[in-house]
């Protein structure tokens, strides 16, 4: 009995050494994979531009690209179109459209304002609104947009010259907002 116990004990130790070597090998493979993935992530990306049947390959560089004034102006124009143009005023649709480019606080304020306009100001009248003559001024200190709102109430056009001061903050870029800017505040001035 003593000999069989010793043999069993030796077999278990041999099996444990084998598992120890296998586990060390797997850990080494995992560490190697993490190093390779980290190296690939840090490497410059290869950009493929497809034009018809041809493909052009370029090696890009990872760098922080500053947001230009022209990009901010285009972002503001996008915001203005989403916020001020409609064929039929639907506050919920406006809220969903503004969600990727506004902060949650401004989104709630605009939803309340649009709901008030629909329920109290227009009271079920047929309204549509468009904007024209958009001019955006972007400086280091402020962003100001001027445009003409063309409000149609029951088919009667009412032009409203409007100037808007915007407070814009940097957010996280995503598929719906690739530039990553968010409108955080709006001060609207209308000429009557």
What is the strand order of the sheet 156-170 is part of? Answer: 127-138, 143-153, 156-170, 181-190
Output the pTM of the full model. 0.69
pLDDT at res. 18? 95
pLDDT at res. 192? 60
Helix (H, G, I), strand (E, B) or coil at 87: coil
pLDDT at res. 84? 93
- Please report which residue ranges of 85-132 form alpha helices under DSSP H: 91-98, 104-116
| H helix or E strand, kind and range, residue 18 | helix 2-42
Tens digit of each residue's pLDDT, the chain (192 residues): 578 888 889 999 999 999 999 999 999 999 999 999 998 888 888 888 888 889 888 887 777 778 889 999 999 999 999 999 999 888 999 999 999 999 999 999 999 998 888 888 888 788 899 999 999 999 888 899 999 999 888 888 889 999 999 999 998 888 888 888 999 999 988 776
Helix (H, G, I), strand (E, B) or coil at 191: coil
Answer positive or negative: Cα dihedral of 178, 81, 138, 73: positive
Distance CA 71, CA 53 (A): 31
pLDDT at res. 43? 83
Name the β-bridge partners of 187: 165
Burial of 102 (0-12, 13-18, 19+ CB in 10 A): buried
Q: Please provide the CATH number assigned to the domain covering 69-190.
A: 3.10.450.230
- Contact in structure between 147 and 122 (CB atoms under 8 Å): no
- Contact in structure between 107 and 98 (CB atoms under 8 Å): yes
- Contact in structure between 75 and 181 (CB atoms under 8 Å): yes
pLDDT at res. 134? 94
pLDDT at res. 6? 86
pLDDT at res. 1? 59
């Amino acid at each position: 009995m003593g000999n069989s116990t010793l043999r069993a004990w030796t077999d278990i130790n041999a099996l444990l050494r084998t598992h120890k070597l296998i586990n060390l090998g797997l850990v080494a493979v995992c560490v190697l994979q993490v190093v390779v993935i980290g190296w690939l992530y840090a490497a410059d990306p290869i950009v493929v531009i497809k034009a018809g049947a041809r493909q052009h390959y370029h090696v890009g560089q990872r760098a922080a690209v500053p947001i230009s004034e022209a990009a901010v102006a285009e972002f503001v124009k996008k915001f203005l179109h989403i916020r001020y143009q409609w064929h039929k005023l639907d506050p919920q649709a406006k809220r969903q459209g503004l969600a990727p480019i506004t902060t949650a606080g401004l989104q709630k304020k605009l939803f309340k304002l649009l709901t008030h306009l629909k329920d109290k100001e227009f009271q079920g009248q047929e309204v549509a609104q468009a904007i024209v003559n958009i001019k955006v001024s972007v400086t280091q200190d402020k962003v100001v947009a001027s445009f003409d709102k063309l409000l149609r109430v029951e088919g009667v056009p009412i032009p409203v010259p409007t100037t808007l001061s915007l407070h814009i903050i940097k957010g996280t870029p995503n598929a719906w907002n690739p530039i990553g800017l968010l409108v955080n505040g709006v001060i609207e001035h209308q000429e009557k």
